[in-house]
Chains A and B, each alone.
Chain A
Amino acid sequence: MKRWLGPALALVAILIVPLVAPPYQTLLMLPFMAYAVILLGLNLLFGYTGLLSFGHALFVGVGAYTGAFLTHRFGVRSLEAILLAAALLGALVAAPVGALCVRYVKIYFGMLTLAFGMVFYTFVLKFYALTGGDEGIPFARPLLLGRDLSAIPKTDYLNGPYYYYCVAVLVLATACMWRIVRSPFGLCLRTIRDNPLKAEALGISVPRYRWCAFVISAVYAALGGALLGPPTGNVDPTLAYWTHSGNLVFMTLLGGFTHFYGPVLGAFVFIYLQDFVMSLVPYWRLIFGGLLALIVIFAPTGLMGLIAPSR
């Protein structure tokens, strides 16, 4: 009963935001929801499998560019088709990248994912004819459930139908991840995080499970990446840059990787805090750097650890 209360209240709050909050604040909810999806996946890898990826912006980029390509180059405007294609491409790219990366652990895994992220970043930056280089490519307004909503003003579209579409995707992604971490598979991931040697002695194939977790997390990142496109209407290489991967890790630590909803909370606080700090001072990264240091030293389990200490 109590376990459901927090998430249920949060969902109700998310649902009524467009009705009560100013349009600008509502617009900020869109990247929050996209990042929440991305981080649910990232934390399957980090919090549950014990692998910290510093290159997940790669998959965010894959998802976002998939949407931009489909809407801008191929005239495919259905968001369902875009999300499906983003998920498939995310998995397709993650399969070989993951197969190489999961052979390594700790800093080596992190560095290898970072390296692949940089390769992808350079690719989208330099292949100007294909990707539009540093200017990126437009992400045309997608159809939602087959409905063409191009007639309504952009803010009304984003804060209305698109907003609730994102809520639906977030709820589905959360429910799906909730099941994954409570499945036999999720238990096996946690054994690998805690003690790979012992896991192998119990017949649990460490590389195979790590690879599965890697691919699932990439699919989540690609889905979230595709959702990031429509609000800005443009996709550019900064989405795939390594500092973006760093932000994802920051959000996860901020919210708390030991708790299922920690990364979701982290995404929320990050987006609004960043906006708030940027409105006050131009050097928001300085403030956030200090904040990160404080979290690591004083609250290693993040904000969620402060609110709801697990066990």
Chain B
Amino acid sequence: MKDDELEGWRREWQAQPAVTMELIRRVERETVTMRWDRFLLLAPAAVALGTTVIAALNPRIDAIVFAAGMWIFMAASWRFLVQNRKGIWGPSSETTAAYLELSIERCRRKLKDFRFGRVLSPFITAFVLAGVWQGMASQGRLESAEGYWILGAASLFTIGVVAFAISAQNQKRKQTEAELEYLLDLQRQLKEGGR
């Protein structure tokens, strides 16, 4: 009776679907994330497009410079993103070593992403704040103390948001560094085992 019970459970338990090589699935998941990364640039592109529309409707030199600057930042980001994704869309062969190599390379590129973001974000922030300051000044909204208060508050808020984002990215960077270290160690072990 009891053995029948155990056998029944065993059949049910072993009937659960099996999962095959998860390293391959991980790489596949990362690939999907990388494809979505491209769409992340759509938001800044929308902002750049918005500044262009404003500049077209109100063709002042400061508006045109601001729109042009936004497009330059956009182009630089796109170029970096495309360059940084080269050669990491798939493994060079269907071997475990190739999949591991790909995961390592993706970690390295992710760290490059973080460095690029850290360098670019202060420039973009400064540029946007300068644009807002110039826009408010040209509209005569900085002639009163209230205007300066608004500009100061908006600047502090923006800087705070950017600082928070950089700090969050730092956390992710540390995780990626730890992951890279683990994968490299694994690769070393594999090479030593292969000797």
| A and B together in one complex | no
**Residues of chain B having any CB pair with chain A under 8 Å:** none
**Residues of chain A having any CB pair with chain B under 8 Å:** none
